[in-house]
Amino acid sequence: MKIRARYPRMLACGAALALTLGLAACGGGGAGGSGRASSGEDEIHVLVYGDATNKVEQQLVDTFNRTSKVKVVLDTIPGADYQQKLQTVINTPQAPDVFFNWGGGSIQPYVEAGLLMPLDGFIKKDPGLKSHFLPSVFNTAVIDGTPYGVPMRGTQPVLLFHNKKVLADAGVTPPRTWEELLAAVEALKAEGVTPIALGGGDKWPTLMWFQYLYDRVAGPELFQKALDGDKSAWESADSRKALGMIKELIDAGAFGTNADSVKFTDGGSPALLASGKAGFELMGSWAYATQQEADAEFAAKDLGYTAFPTVAGGKGDPANLVGNTNNFYSVLKKTRHPDTVAEFLKLMYSDRFVQQQLAIGNLPTTTNTEKFLDTAANPAYSRFQFDLVKKAPAFQLSWDQSYPPAAITPIHQAVQRFFNGQTDTDGFIEAMQALPTA
């Protein structure tokens, strides 16, 4: 499986990942808080994206603090505000010692600014900080041959979730093809149900539809070509075809009439799915943990999931995935307690970590994951993800994490404006051609 990230040097060979897997294998609002420098001689601050996974991160912190003289303080920023607030504090006295990120383009500017600690020294002292993770995932946070992140949480392919009861009541089965999805949209509309819940107010959930359709129509090569600086990729026939299919879905009324007033990060779109007001939601695999926390009964009984539909005649392999290969912890150079940080990072490959992540539906990318799959909150769900990742010929990192942070807002604006009909195909293409690539 290839990880499609911004830098070719991050791409690992497909056979290597499949072999490793064979041997072993952004969410809603959380607690308030912000990154800040260690305020005492005996603590470090770890900044994370606020969502349902924070309970596991707090459990790990509590475990670590029982035996560590230097304590870890977990700070969270609600998901919708994370990127902006991180950029605001990262080069100030309020910066954390360790922070959550997506690897790839999301940390490149911080590396170039000399803010991040290369992790070679940590790995030399504890080779497990590298060897206990799937190589192709670990390498997503390797820049110019130097590691700047340790995987945390789990791999996050984007899946098509559905409400089993809503689909059954409408006589709909989970769609395997694009044509079946369009037919499901019509059937659900006839039942007075919004076919697809969409947190358009966050913008990035809308982007997921673009990412998958571009991959299914053109294969991952088109986006990689654009990312490498060839702007002509955006005006290709395949690009226009993918945009036409997105427009077809929008015009069919798939997302209702007020998607931009709904967010995933405040629980809005997940609630539409769980309450039976919507049939589907395209979302990262963390949606299971989100639903489990908000409505455990629905998550256990009626939450279904499938891979993204195939596209007839498309160049992309139907087994390809898009999403986030993992999240990472990176370390600020100015931390006063590097030894404590190194010890804390060891927990990210511990048996305890793997079991706690599986318990909320996440799928860690450690080499010891497979032996614990049957202990997951939903073993069938964990194995479904495991098999998808294992078999995927390509796993394309989310567009807004592949490009540098300066491109995030322009990408989201281009997607939202096209989705809302404020710009046409040519306008979207021009906006994407104007993105910074370095």
Q: Tokens 């670990």: give the residue.
A: 138
Select from 184, 100, 196, 187 the least CA-distant residue to 141.
100
CB 411 within 8 A of CB 207: yes
Burial class (CB in 10 A: 0-12, 13-18, 19+), 227: buried
Q: Which pLDDT belongs to residue 211?
A: 98
- By residue count, the chain amounts to 438
Q: Which pLDDT belongs to residue 12?
A: 31
CA-to-CA separations, 364 to 14, 133, 137, 285, 301, in angstroms, rounded: 18, 9, 10, 12, 24
> What whole-number distance in Å separates Cα of residue 263 and Cα of residue 277?
15
Per-residue pLDDT of the chain (438 residues; tens, 9 = 90+): 433 333 222 223 332 333 233 322 233 333 334 444 445 579 999 999 998 889 999 999 999 999 999 999 999 998 878 988 999 999 999 999 999 999 988 899 999 999 999 999 999 999 999 999 988 789 889 999 999 999 999 999 999 999 999 999 999 999 999 999 999 999 999 999 999 999 999 999 999 999 999 999 999 999 999 999 999 999 999 999 999 999 999 999 999 999 999 999 999 999 999 999 999 999 999 999 899 999 999 999 999 999 999 999 999 999 999 998 899 999 999 999 999 999 999 999 999 999 999 988 889 989 999 999 999 989 999 999 989 988 888 889 899 988 988 899 999 999 999 999 999 999 999 999 999 876
pTM above 0.75, yes or no: yes
CA-to-CA separations, 308 to 49, 174, 270, 347, 415, in angstroms, rounded: 26, 10, 18, 33, 19
DSSP-derived pairing of the beta strands 150-152 and 142-143: unpaired
- The alpha helices in 318-407, defined as continuous H runs, are 338-345, 351-358, 379-391, 399-402
> What whole-number distance in Å separates Cα of residue 248 and Cα of residue 219?
20
CA-to-CA separations, 193 to 98, 173, 356, in angstroms, rounded: 44, 15, 36
Select from 27, 161, 104 the least CA-distant residue to 325.
104
Q: Tokens 């809603």: give the residue.
A: 28
> What whole-number distance in Å separates Cα of residue 197 and Cα of residue 282?
8
Q: Which pLDDT belongs to residue 104?
A: 85
Dihedral sign of CA atoms 412, 289, 287, 189 in order: negative
Q: Which residues contact 199 (CB under 8 A, 6 or more apart)?
A: 205, 259, 262, 263, 264, 265, 268, 269
Q: Which pLDDT belongs to residue 8?
A: 27
> What whole-number distance in Å separates Cα of residue 26 and Cα of residue 51?
7
Element (H, E) at 7: none
Q: Which residues contact 87 (CB under 8 A, 6 or more apart)?
A: 405
CB 203 within 8 A of CB 150: no
CA-to-CA separations, 14 to 269, 305, 375, in angstroms, rounded: 34, 25, 28
Instruction: Give strand ranges (E) for 211-342.
Output: 278-284, 303-306, 321-324, 327-331
Name the token pair of 122: 């940590």
